[in-house]
Amino acid sequence: MDTNITIIGAGVIGLAIAAELSKNNEGVFVLEKNLKPGQETSSRNSEVIHSGIYYPKGSLKARLCVEGKRILYDYCNLNHIDYNKCGKLIVSNSDDEGLILQDILDRAKMNGAEDGMIIEKDAIIELEPHIRAERALYFPSTGIIDTHGLIKQLEADAANRGVEMVYGSEVTNIQKIENGYQITVSEQDGAGFSFSTEYLINCAGLYAENISKMAGIKNPAYSIYYWKGEYFSLANGKHKLVSRLVYPVPNKNTEGLGIHTTIDLTGRVKLGPNAVFMENNELDYSLDKSHSKEFYQSAKKYLPFLDEDDLVPDQVGIRPKLQKPGDDIRDFVINEESDSGFPGFVNLIGMESPGLTACLSIAKYVGEIIS
Ligand SMILES: Cc1cc2nc3c(=O)[nH]c(=O)nc-3n(C[C@H](O)[C@H](O)[C@H](O)COP(=O)(O)OP(=O)(O)OC[C@H]3O[C@@H](n4cnc5c(N)ncnc54)[C@H](O)[C@@H]3O)c2cc1C
């Protein structure tokens, strides 16, 4: 074999896996079609270090998020990556919503997210004097992270441990061979190369289903559906009126977490993301300005100071979900494919939120799979 381990995709998950596996393995290789790491979903998200509140007990999302949050804060401290443990409030304004808060708190505790507490109006006003809420569920240890700092650090850790990262190189064919895989790569300048690898780890994000199919793995449970997430930021000085992540009580029928406020490390406050199903899985990062009305109406319920003209179009990200509208929630797929006849091929599919929070624990999990 030309190399031991090949990772397709240099988003946060591919890079975290490269940094982890290179601790105990030589010959680790990362292929990325873009010229720089982290140009896709990893830089088009809310940058929230989630607590692991909503996911079903025992799911990979729950386990890897709770563990991932803890080790991500440690990693940030060790490597001086900026973060703000600003805390998160899930706010309720009716008796029915208030009851749902208790359910969310119970599930959070079952998942090991221990710091949640229900607080009443007086305590909410002390934390966030400008929002409207009768009751809230408060998670003080939820935070936000400098994603670009994280990407740079993971890339540096991997490179320092001997990982070879090749940018501008798109995997265009995968052939199963004896004891491994033959990979064909097209470079952006029109050149290309081919090599063999024993292990192949598919971290291709929005393209992970294609990569799996390219190798010959045709599992209908791996179908990815694109869901756009649009954001509007707050203008007219209104960003100064919120300093934590503020979420509505999630509606059972919504595919995201409801229109919420996210803050970033520069103090910018964004509303979003919404969840727009994209019929044809097209890579379309355009934002529909007419959605600002729906954002305004949702957020006005708990941000009474909001005026319609405070909303300015901001970023767009696309979630690689394993469910289409109406389907049950699906867990991450992290699977070594020996059972399908593809030993040494590890698929990571449907790596939507909380994939950023969980990137380091996902990397440890993959390390255990192939050790
Ligand atoms: C709107 C939105 C909000 C989110 N908010 C949060 C949040 O607040 N907190 C959180 O924890 N998570 C959040 N997430 C989820 C998080 O962003 C993702 O889980 C994470 O970024 C996925 O990382 P990745 O490395 O799997 O994917 P990506 O970043 O998409 O990386 C995949 C890489 O594979 C490369 N690639 C694809 N095909 C090929 C090929 N053929 N050859 C070579 N390279 C290839 C791509 O170019 C890309 O760079 C959010 C996601 C979205 C969309």
Tens of pLDDT, residues 337-352: 999 999 999 999 999 9
One-letter amino acid of 353: S
- pLDDT at position 258: 80
Residue located via tokens 């799911």: 59
Task: Judge if the beta carbon of residue 147 lies within 6 A of ligand 1.
Answer: no
Average pLDDT value over all residues in the chain: 95
CB 51 within 8 A of CB 240: no
Q: Are 233 and 212 in contact (CB under 8 A)?
A: no
CA distance 329 to 274: 17
Looking at the predicted structure, is the pLDDT value of residue 195 above 90?
yes
Structure-token match 């408060």, residue found:
138
Distance CA 15, CA 17 (A): 5
**pTM of the predicted protein model:** 0.97
- Ligand 1 contacts CB of residue 143 (under 6 A): no
Which is more confident, 83 or 267? 83
pLDDT for position 187: 95
Tokens of residue 176, six digits: 């199963």
Decide: 48 in ligand 1 pocket, CB within 6 A. yes
Kindly state if the Cβ of 310 falls inside 6 Å of ligand 1: no
**Protein residue with its CA nearest to atom 41 in ligand 1:** 171
The pLDDT tens digits of the residues spanning 147-179 come to 999 999 999 999 999 999 999 999 999 999 999
Residue of minimum CA distance from atom 15 in ligand 1: 353
How far is ligand 1, taken at its centre, from the CA of residue 227, in Å? Answer: 13
Q: What pLDDT is stored for residue 371 in this prediction?
A: 86
Residue-wise pLDDT for 134-153, tens only, equals: 999 999 999 999 999 999 99
- DSSP E strands in the chain: the ranges are 3-8, 28-31, 48-49, 83-84, 88-92, 117-120, 135-139, 143-145, 164-166, 169-177, 180-187, 192-202, 225-234, 245-248, 261-263, 269-271, 276-277, 311-321, 333-336, 345-349
pLDDT for 189 equals 86
Mean pLDDT within 306-318: 97
CA distance 14 to 205: 9
pLDDT confidence of residue 366: 98
Q: Which two tokens stand for residue 294?
A: 């729906």
**Average of pLDDT values for 63-73?**
97
Mutate to test the pocket of ligand 1, among 7, 20, 45 (most ligand atoms within 8 A of CB): 45
What does DSSP assign to residue 298?
H
Least confident range from 54-58, 172-176, 235-239, 311-315: namely: 54-58
